[in-house]
Structure 1
Amino acid sequence: MKSRVHVIAPYATMVPVVSECCALFPELIIRTSVGSLEDGVNIAIKEECATDIFISRGTTAKLIKNAVKKPVIDMHISGYDLIRSLSLASNLTTKSALIGMQSITHVAKAIIGLMDIPISIYTVEHLEEIPPLILELKNKGFKQIIGDRLVTHISETYGLKGFLIQSSKETILQALERAKQINEYKNYADVPSKIFEQIVQSKYKNIVVLSKENHIIYEHFSTLNFTRDLKDHLYILNTDMNDTKPRASKLLVVDNDVIEIKGYYVSEFGYKLFVLKKYNHLINQHGLTVQTHSLHKPVIKESSSIQHVYKQVELLFKHKEPILLVGEQGTGKDFISTYIHEKHEDGLLLTIDFKYFDINQLNTLPIQYVRTIKLKHCELIEEVEVLSAFIQNCLEKHIHMFVLCEHNYQFESFEWLKCNKIQLPTLQERKEDIVPLIHYFLSKFHEEYGTTPVKIKNKSLTLLEETNYPFNIDDLHSIMKQIVLNEKDYIIQHETVERILKQQSHCLKPISLKGTLKEIEREIIELVLKEENFNQSKTAERLGINRATLWRKLKNEGN
């Protein structure tokens, strides 16, 4: 196998010499760039993934070694290189000095002694010694400084002539020969690892390995695209693993496919291995949703009534008992069930809404990856036996079950489920939570819409606390949204709150149950229409009827 060799030349005139040598090494893929010191380092960092071996010289080679993890060959300055350079430099009658490490100056002293060249030699042990030494030589009358690219660069900065020691073709050939030897050894040593790699890749289609520093040092994907979102989930899982917890796993949904990530911590090396597996098309039916993003809302439970609810739900959830959450619209049934699932389970949360889902498809659902299921609108089901068998199957597989209802009568025909019924309090029954919710909505809308107000007066808080909210948190959310969008001051004015409450008063009146069924129906339709900004399509969808039926009812009301 050919090795990819990247020669980073510290000076441009080295490039044609390297090109002459390339034909002699057909087992190497050789590329050349020009860059000295930090420029060379930046090239190496950028090209590391596409390079097996780097070749450079002197200080540039040393800096590259510290920046990359690939082998770096240093083209050492040979005696022949020094003879050529010193002979050329001595042709000038200016006062000259050579500066370098001992490996260079030791040979240079011998050459100068034999050839009787009038050039002074100065040895440095650290790169930091070079600038003050050059300045000192300038003050002593030296005009020309001989050395590598760093020495000549600093010399020219101080106004002196820099004479670069160039590498001969023989030196470049020696460096490429060393690269060839490394390639031969690498190919020989890599045979076992390549065999094991093929075995691993045949079993695991998607693999990632992280180093101690949490850098990706190996990745292979054949059935997945390693997207930014997928990488973020992997790094989140990575933080959960250590010596005391060597394994971790996570399930998520991407483009309707379930992705399972399993992580393994290899303590002997400090590395972490991640195996990713895709399960095709788990959910693609109308009425099914999978929770793919974590909740980012605060849990507000200042009132004792809601604290008791959370305590009950959590206890029953831990024992994997089916839970019936009964509560009016906006009391938080969805939020609480999702929050409890996320707190205690890493698997998938599936919601089945029988308003849209065909119950005859229940048995086709691949629930082996699901840890919690929420059922909505069970009162619409006629095939009770199908639902009963499905729920029993889920419980046997230790899947958590939530049933969500707005009213007790909706669940009367399903008493056989023997769910643990928990009644959620209305917002009026948990008044202690209204102010924290207001403050949360104030911050939320500021973040989402860039609204101006950041504070609300106590007088306005009291008024909002005393307001009746038929749709509970949903109503409060809607009212606060209108308030912050209409307020131009940093502090919400009481007049703004009063005006918005007056405008929204039609939405805050509970539905009257007096009158005929047709009159009650009309009141409900009008209320939903206003909430949906008179969008008939959305109104029909919420009411569970088609648009033609809604149009007919509205027409009849007008007659």
Structure 2
Amino acid sequence: MIKVLVIAPYQGLAEVVKNLRHEDEDLQIEVKVGNLEEGIQIAKAAEAEGYDLIISRGGTASQVEAEINIPVVDIHITGYDMLRVFALLKGLNGQAALVGFPNISRGAATICSILDMNVRSVTISSREEVTKLLPDLKKEGFSVVIGDVVTVRQAEQMGLQGILITSGKEAVLQSFEEAKRLYHSNQKMQAQTAVYADMIERFPQAVVTVNEAGEVIQKNQLFRDQFTSSIVEAPDLQALLKQILTQRQGIWRSVTLQKRSYHAYGYPTSEDKSFVTVLLQPQSLGAAQGVKVRNHVSHIPISGRSRIAEDMRKQLKQYANLEEAIWIEGEVGTGRMMFACNLHFETFGQQAPLISFDCSVVSMKDVSGYISSKNQLLPEKATIVFQHVHLIKDDEQSALKSLVEELTAKYTVILLSDGSVRTRMKEGRFDQALFYSLPAVTIQIPPLRERIEDIQDLAQAFIARNHMNYGYEAIGLRPEALEPLLDYDWPGNISQLKQAIDKLMIANNQSYIEKSDVETMMSDVTKETTMTMHNALPLEGTLKDMERAIIEKVMEQENHNQSKAAKRLGMNRTTLWRKLNS
């Protein structure tokens, strides 16, 4: 049975309840008389005694509800109650006024109009208004005041006749039904809350909820085991909480707590977004070999005025938020990862991490373990990048394909490779479905030698960044100093150009880099490139074998464009075709 206490503001209501309390077998009803403050004390005692809910009326019900944690049902004034009051007025002399809150006064005015009764209806919004209102009514000649318990008592103290709006049988029985409905609804809600609380308590990550003042409202077992509540005062967490409360959205970032790194995901949880819940996961993912987590990816502008640079900027806007895998192909040093980072920034800004897996180092079995829901290592939102896909082992390609298909359902997935993938496919050593069917789009990042006109802008961008970050003196290149840079082939592409600019700035203590400085540096670069090529090419076999290796290397760098390869090798296309097929 449902254990109910009825707190009656006046004795007459208590008597009505006593006469009706046995009519409902689902309710075990007790009755006590108490108005306002007295009723609050009765309600608090009832809560401690294990009552399931309280039934009361008017101001007493409102004040009780604000002070206790169990449900409170208000006995509403019905049309029958108002009719009984107006019936009592027929035998009374003098002008009458009804004083009450809107829920009473509006209905009373309607009934008075229907019954053609001369009763003024006065609406109040607070209890304090009654004290000021009654003397004015008395001066105006009103002798009868209709209202609730407090209003009637004050009227009688001033010599006015008070008529109490009582609650009859209909209103009481209606409150019994409302009590049952509210009890069962509350039971369901408590059961759901218990399930959710248990889920959070057993959650495999530390969870804490704080309010706008930074006070801990809730924490689960794992949080209690690892931290004290004072951990929310740590600078990293304070910065995260402030950002979430300002932006009113979920934010993912890396934080350091107790000299250990954690992935933290925080989000507003209350309807008015004044509470923040934070999930904390030890940062084991970024510590693994071949795995890197970039928490604060910044936008790096694509420098250059060439058609290629303009096309790349358009592609960023075009492919951001694409819900299918993207393959970025280009030679070493062309900026494949930079382009991937820019795609990530266009999609998430700095609200989610970019996580990269190096296919030349980490196995697909390990990647599968990282993304397993059991381990809970990946955040809710992220960009997943597979680097050096061209170096993946033959027997792991099908596993990579399955992983990408699985991850694409939830994350932004990007694959990076050089041009050798196409050669491997021709040789039957790379899965064509992985390259052609899996990605929605393949983006070609051209080598620097195909966008020579961008070298000036790229060089100036590197100079500006070094000047800002390291305080180097140089702020630009002399116009003639650009010539040696434009004349070079840059086999290492943008990365090699950046290294060259870095060396020039370290060695320079003037505002502008001179041509002679560039020429000296380029002489060293050319020697290094020659030695690298020499060491990279096999010096085994016949001269014909070595020639074949050189041709294949240049063809790879030119993405198998025979016209461009022939031009670099100093031979015509017919000769190149013959040597490739001999």
TM-score w.r.t. length of structure 1: 0.49
* Higher Cα radius of gyration: 2
